[in-house]
Amino acid sequence: MAKGYWIGRVDVEDAEGYKKYIEANAKPFAEYGARFLIRGGQFENPEGSARSRNVVIEFPSYEAALACYHSEDYQYAKSLREPVSTGDIVIVEGYDA
């Protein structure tokens, strides 16, 4: 079974407010087996547009990645994130060779 991934690009406008989102997302991420592969860090953007923060989160399956996003707990966390940041999230199925 292929893993699932969240690919997020975020500009944080209120760092203190964003900390509340991070606290709230811990529960659903643990529940759905999320593992951070990339969480911020140095980057170069040779093509296209960029945001200040990049994140890649791995889930045991594509279904788990979708279920986490749509869960009540994550939707609550998202409600804390939206007023303090601007971002894009893509949920993608991994390549299972």
Q: Is the pLDDT of residue 20 over 90?
A: yes
pTM confidence score: 0.93
Q: Computed from CA positions of residues 17, 28, 63, 37, in that sequence, does the dihedral angle turn out positive or negative?
A: positive
What pLDDT is stored for residue 8 in this prediction?
A: 97
Number of residues in the chain: 97
Give the model confidence (pLDDT) of 47-58 as tens digits: 999 999 999 999
Say if residues 86 and 8 touch (Cβ distance below 8 Å). no
Residue 1 confidence class, pLDDT cut points 50, 70, 90: confident
Residue 25: per-residue pLDDT: 97
pLDDT band, residue 7 (cuts 50/70/90)? very high
